[in-house]
Chains A and B, each alone.
Chain A
Amino acid sequence: MNKKNIILVSKACLLLSMLGFCIPVFDEANGFAALIYFLGAGEGALYVSIGIALILCFLAMAASILFSSLYFIRGKKENHTPVTAALDWALMALVLVTMLFSFIAVKKFTEEDVEFASGFYFMVYGMAAHIIVYLYSTLLGENLSTKSEEKRAYWMLSLPAIIFYFGVMTFPSIFSVVLSLTNYSGGSLFEAGALKFVGLKNYMKVFADQYFYISLKNNFWIVLVSVFGQLPLGFFLAYVLTRGLVKGRDFFQTMIYLPCVISTVVIGILFQTFFSSHGAWTEIMKWINPSYEWTMNSQPMIPVLFVILWMYTGTYLIIFMANLQKIDPQIMEAATIDGASEWQVLWHIIFPELSGVFVISAILAISGSLKSFDLIYVMTGGGPAKQTYVLSLYMFDKAFRGASDYPMANTISTIMVVISLVLIGIVKTLEKKFGAKEE
């Protein structure tokens, strides 16, 4: 998209902003009604100036759109001259100033008890989009023939994503670590006093808490079930189905994958009822053994682990099936013709080909295991007596239940990130040592 078209797109955003004059901005009144009201209210110079500002805003928007349309489309120009660029900037500035003045004056300096309606958001967001896109166009060079212009173009294209990533991922992650080193408890909003740096005190508290070790142990079990349960089972089932060792491949594929598409909450409630003291499991066991009596499992995580294994194996089945199908069947046929057994084909051809996939899947399994929350929250709530606690639930309880302890919650999240990095590092090291090498 060239500079001219980007400018025209920015004017389209401004057109959206103009909609605010047609749909309600202040309660039920749109921009036109508002300017008529303020001009005719007779409440003094402030009201009149708000009315005039709204008129100027509308006219400046219309002029800006018309000007660009006539200049670029009808005039068939490819770029602004310095004069026309200055005029365009002036119109944009006028729109911005009059819009801001109107809204701030109405809310802060008048007695009008009005709420902003949808038209306000159209005006503001439309204007913001217009400015951003327009600025984007001005930073684009005329051509990309020079290296600096090329660099500028790359930056412009990737900057929005970088800003977004920084705002949503990087900043919160760093801030979380910072909070874990402080005594933050809500800030001035809750008269919590000044923020103090407390060093590793929160980390000491976590490491001294028995529930941290219970959570860690349970997360460890989930990682084990995921990496040594879901992956091998997923691979085995994918191998069986891909190699055509059973009939009804599509049926089995659908059935194994089905749990992945059912809501986790529904599954959690289903299995909570299934494994409860008067649930289906007890009735089935009583039918097999009439003297069976339900007892509280000394390992209350076992039902949870079973459900995790059942629920997520389908994901890895699909991953492995897709990658198995990428292996050239002629290689395997050639190996078979040369006398290789099924096991030799698996060990010498398929495993090396899929080593990278195993690593990626293990990383997915580890990160998924450490963040597992929803199923356990619904199925057991972390109970009984927090025996099915996991790190994410522990963190959630610290942040949002009882007396919120945000620094502790941030500490736990930092520890979870460190554990993830360590485990992923181990997996990568194993892959380097035992994985397939590029020839």
Chain B
Amino acid sequence: MKKMVVAVMVAAAVLGSVYALGDKKSKQTVITVLDYQDATAPNSFEDNKLIWEAFEAAHPDIKIEREVLFNEPFHQKTAAYAASGKMPDVFYMWPAGRSSAIHEKKLAKDLTPFMKKDGIYNDYSKACVDPAAQASGYVAEIPFGLTVSHMLYVNKAVLEDCGLSIPKTYDELKAQVPVLKAKGYETILMANMDDWVMQSCLFSAVAGRFGGADWADKIKAGKAKFTDKAFLDAVKFIKTLYDDGVLSQKTLATSYGDVVGQFASKKGAYLIDGDWRVGAFLTDTSTGKALISPADQKKNIELINFPEIPGEKIHGSNSSTLGVGYGMSSKLKKGSKEEKAAWELIKWLSGPYVQQRRLDTGASFPSLNSGIKYDNIEPLSQKRAAFYTAQTISTPVFDSVFEGDVPSVLNADLQALGLGKITPEQVCKDVQAAWDSSK
């Protein structure tokens, strides 16, 4: 027994001497990251290597512990972190809306001083670094660009099969419904099952058409209400889409993951989604495969605004908002090595290398004024660039302006509208009530 005890203590001392001075080489700064990534999207696997591993290779003194989630699980995890008051060191976030808890509770640092210190502030477009555009009132995240939440993706091959062409007015679109149905096609595909898509990807654009570019500002300022005619007309139009069969109830059972496959396999003539969905159709560089081949993108796919709606106040407008980006935890000690490492990472993720990658894969359009090449992008990305250039009036995206329960009440009621369980007037009343109780 005595020998065993002595032997154990000697072994412990020897083991200890091995670690006595620590490993100087592994003196890395560890930073935690909460990232948003659709693992099923093309190029997402390569992004791990080309963006994240490349950063670690370029910065051997920094180690990243990355948590990757997508869609609702991401938002729930963010809410849990926000509730604990301790966000990861770097996290993916929105300028308002879905990240309202982070903005309200000032859980992200103001990145303006960091950008100015490194002399990169003026490299970004003014709109993207406008502090007023973010809910916290300062630049909490460096946006990847501006994002258009409503795009009407058109499959011309389906239209040509039915002897149709791209409609310019709603009436023309409505007239296409029976023709498409007779051939077994849906008119508009949309992932209406999820609890954010309708209000973000369609209703925001429609509300802008009926209410004007300042419809949301007026409501926020108390000069208008959700029960006013303009908003009611927008809701009634959504009902009209269902009644006319332009939007079918099938969209209410279509999940966000399924809809791109349906559009790519020509189940419908049109798809309503945000500009970010372009990336889903591009070539995955790791496999060389694309949901829609570049040749098909060039020949058959167009990106347009919603056609002219009867009774709209402004024509050809679209809903857009500041894009997403990465923020830094406000709990990081000022001047600490974690703060420096986090800033290096954010600078990398918002810098020309990653923005070029995001442009090439269709993930976003750059917020940098220079340093980006546009030569090698696929036809659909080129059409996206042309779409932006053609945009004239921009109106707000609902969940970027209204926070808390308001967007979810609206979205749920718009789904109920599609099911015929609620009237447009009731929708407006419910949204107004949600807005009143959130103030």
Contact = CB atoms under 8 A, between A and B. Distances in A.
Interface of A: 15, 18-19, 21-24, 27-33, 36, 62, 65-66, 69-70, 73-74, 113, 186, 189-190, 272-273, 275-278, 294-296, 380-387, 397, 400-404
B12 A22 contact: yes
A310 to B, nearest CB: 20
A403 B80 contact: no
B58 interface: no
A74 B1 contact: yes
6 contacts: A15-B8, A28-B27, A278-B262, A387-B416, A403-B404, A403-B438
Contact of B252 (A18, A36, A189, A296): A296
Given A66-B5, A186-B83, A190-B85, A383 B252 contact: yes
B279 to A, nearest CB: 22
Nearest to B30: A115
B20 A277 contact: no
B22 A29 contact: yes
Given A19-B12, A28-B26, A276-B254, A404 B193 contact: no
B41 to A, nearest CB: 17
Contact of B79 (A28, A278, A404): A404
Contacts of B9: 62
Given A190-B85, A384-B193, A403-B405, A73 B262 contact: no
A385 B19 contact: no
B391 interface: no
Given A384-B253, A404-B83, 16 more contacts: A22-B12, A23-B19, A24-B22, A31-B16, A32-B20, A33-B19, A33-B21, A69-B5, A273-B258, A276-B254, A277-B253, A383-B194, A383-B415, A400-B80, A403-B404, A404-B79
B348 to A, nearest CB: 24
Interface string B16-36: 110111111011000000000
Given A113-B336, A295-B249, A403 B403 contact: yes
A36 B20 CA distance: 9
A276 B5 contact: no
B1 A69 contact: yes
Contacts of A23: 19
Given A18-B12, A402-B405, A384 B27 contact: no
Interface of A, secondary structure class, is loop
Q: B1, B21, B407: which has the most chain A beta carbons within 10 Å?
A: B21
B412 A22 contact: no
B407 to A, nearest CB: 8
B19 A383 contact: no
Contacts of A33: 19-22
A207 B280 CA distance: 43
Closest 9 CB pairs between A and B? A28-B22, A403-B404, A385-B415, A277-B250, A296-B249, A22-B16, A385-B416, A384-B252, A402-B405
A278 B267 contact: yes
Given A66-B5, A276-B255, A384-B419, A400 B23 contact: no
Interface in B94-142: 105
B195 A383 contact: yes
A30 B19 contact: yes
A149 B412 CA distance: 63
A66 B4 CA distance: 12
Interface in B222-274: 249-250, 252-255, 258, 262, 267
B385 to A, nearest CB: 32
Nearest to B6: A66
A379 to B, nearest CB: 10
B183 interface: no
Contacts of B337: 113
Nearest to A26: B22
A397 B195 CA distance: 11
A226 B418 CA distance: 31
B285 interface: no
A138 to B, nearest CB: 24
Nearest to A28: B22
B72 interface: yes
Given A22-B19, A28-B22, A385 B252 contact: yes
B419 A387 contact: yes
Contacts of A28: 22-24, 26-27
B182 interface: no
Contact of A386 (B16, B405, B412, B418): B412
B192 interface: yes
B415 to A, nearest CB: 4
A91 B262 CA distance: 72
Given A277-B250, A385-B252, A385-B419, A32 B193 contact: no
B48 interface: no
A18 to B, nearest CB: 7
Contacts of A294: 250
A277 B22 contact: no
B22 A276 contact: no
Contacts of A186: 83
Contacts of A24: 19, 22
A290 to B, nearest CB: 11
B2 interface: yes
Nearest to B14: A22
Nearest to A62: B9
A31 B17 CA distance: 10
A189 B87 CA distance: 13
Contacts of B22: 24, 27-30, 33
Nearest to B333: A113
Specify which of A32, A278, A381, A404 lies most central, judged by the most chain B CB atoms within 10 Å of its CB. A278
B436 to A, nearest CB: 13
B91 to A, nearest CB: 17
B44 interface: no
A403 B402 CA distance: 11
Nearest to B1: A73
A402 B404 contact: yes
A297 to B, nearest CB: 9
Nearest to B407: A402
A385 B418 contact: yes
Contacts of A277: 250, 253-254
A28 B26 CA distance: 8
Contacts of A69: 1-2, 5
Contacts of B403: 403
A230 to B, nearest CB: 26
Contacts of B193: 380-381, 383-384
Contacts of B27: 27-28
B249 A401 contact: no
A384 B192 contact: yes
A24 B254 CA distance: 52
B57 interface: no
Contacts of A66: 5
A111 to B, nearest CB: 12
B373 interface: no
